[in-house]
Structure 1
Amino acid sequence: MGAADPDEELLERVAAGDPAAVRALVARKLPRLLGLAQRMLGDPHEAEDVAQETFLRVWRQAPKWRPGAARFDTWLHRVALNLCYDRLRRRREIATDRPPEQVDQGPAPDRGLEAADAGRRVALALQALPDRQREAIVLCHYQELGNIEAAALMGVSVEALESLLGRGRRALRTALADMVER
């Protein structure tokens, strides 16, 4: 197992067809992939589709994986983000009169209506951000990636990432303040 990539040994076992390794990889990576796709797309069903397609690509790529070329987790996030962007592009190509229906993913009503309303407002404000700002916010704040890793995933400099984060945070603050005033 390489010191630089904690997933290297597990990926080698997946490539060898080890069912326990496949289950371990899914258990380790699925929650974060679903969270990433859900926040990027705002739709839990599409998020599941993205996660499934991402894992299909993992199975295909595992035998060809070259340790040291890139961290597996970085590659995995890039694949998931690309699939999210494909879906977002398709949405823009399909003109609709109504916005897409979204299931409220906020806390249950017994947790308090205020918390549910706040979660809904944040999700709506996040979806209203430009794609690159939303991607930066999701990677750094929700996926808990460092600025260097998030910048590498996005293919931008750390300075450009920090600029995207700053603009995204300001836009979120403004959007949330406007929602509270209404």
Structure 2
Amino acid sequence: MDSDPDEELLARVAQGDPAAVRALTARKLPRVLALAGRMLGEATEAEDVAQEAMIRAWRQAPIWTPGVARFDTWLHRVTLNLCYDRLRRRREIPTERPPEQIDLGPAPDRGLEAADVGRRVASAMQALPDRQREAVALCHFQDLTNIEAAAIMGVSVEALESLLSRGRRALRVALSDMMAP
């Protein structure tokens, strides 16, 4: 059986190999950043969370036990926990104005309509309850299987599917005016 390339990289990171740190970052950072962006809806906070998650991965590398858990599962869970910490802090600090929403849509050269669609989807995602947003982000934006997402969230596959169903239904209602007849 082939060994897990993440575990090999983690072993090299634990030994202080700079090339392994760069390779692990290149492999994992885009997905961690995307997940944080979908959960938080704010680019600067998402970058902070992604950076903290990667720092924790580097610190965890020397004590990582291969075969106990998948590194991806652990990293996604760390990222989600950091996102929830940020979301809790937001609720605790009243602001005069709502925070700016980042445009998670296509690049500006794709047209104003595409940017509007991206903003509408991001806004609809932010309106979902936390657990539904987490389930939708993991399955639809991180391309994880239901089994992987359920493991990360610490719920059964049936519970995840229920969260997905309710989240999709809420998104369908929120975006119904954009749907083709």
TM-score bin, normalised by smaller chain:
over 0.9
Alignment of 1:171-182 (within 5 A): 171-177=170-176
Alignment of 1:44-63 (within 5 A): 44-63=43-62
Q: Is the 8 A contact 1:106 1:117 kept in 2?
A: yes
Give ranges in structure 1 of 5+ residues lacking alignment.
Answer: none
Identity %: 79
Matched, 1:148 2:147: yes
After superposition, give the CA deviation of every residue in 1:88-130 in whole Å (9 maximum; x if it has no partner): 0000111223210123232234312221111110000001000
Question: 2-side partners of 1:4 and 1:88: how far apart?
Answer: 37
RMSD, aligned α-carbons? 1.5
Matched, 1:29 2:28: yes
Shift of the 33–151 alpha-carbon distance from structure 1 to 2, 3 Å rule, reads same
Q: Is the 8 A contact 2:103 2:122 kept in 1?
A: no
- Single out whichever of 108-117 and 90-99 deviates more from structure 2: 108-117
| Amino acid across the alignment from 1:114 | E
Give ranges in structure 2 of 5+ residues lacking alignment.
Answer: none
Question: 2-side partners of 1:112 and 1:50: how far apart?
Answer: 30
3-state SS in 1 of match to 2:175: helix
Alignment of 1:1-182 (within 5 A): 3=2, 5-177=4-176
- Single out whichever of 47-56 and 108-117 deviates more from structure 2: 108-117
3-state SS in 1 of match to 2:118: helix
3-state SS in 2 of match to 1:163: helix
Question: 2-side partners of 1:109 and 1:25: how far apart?
Answer: 30
Q: How far is the alpha carbon of 1:179 from its aligned partner?
A: 7.5
Q: How far is the alpha carbon of 1:4 from its aligned partner?
A: 6.3
Count of residue correspondences = 179
After superposition, give the CA deviation of every residue in 1:18-70 in whole Å (9 maximum; x if it has no partner): 00000000000010010000000001110110011111111111000000110
Question: What's the TM-score once normalised by structure 1's chain length?
Answer: 0.93
Question: What's the TM-score once normalised by structure 2's chain length?
Answer: 0.94
| Amino acid across the alignment from 1:156 | V
Question: 2-side partners of 1:24 and 1:169: how far apart?
Answer: 35
Q: Is the 8 A contact 2:39 2:133 kept in 1?
A: yes
| Amino acid across the alignment from 2:141 | Y
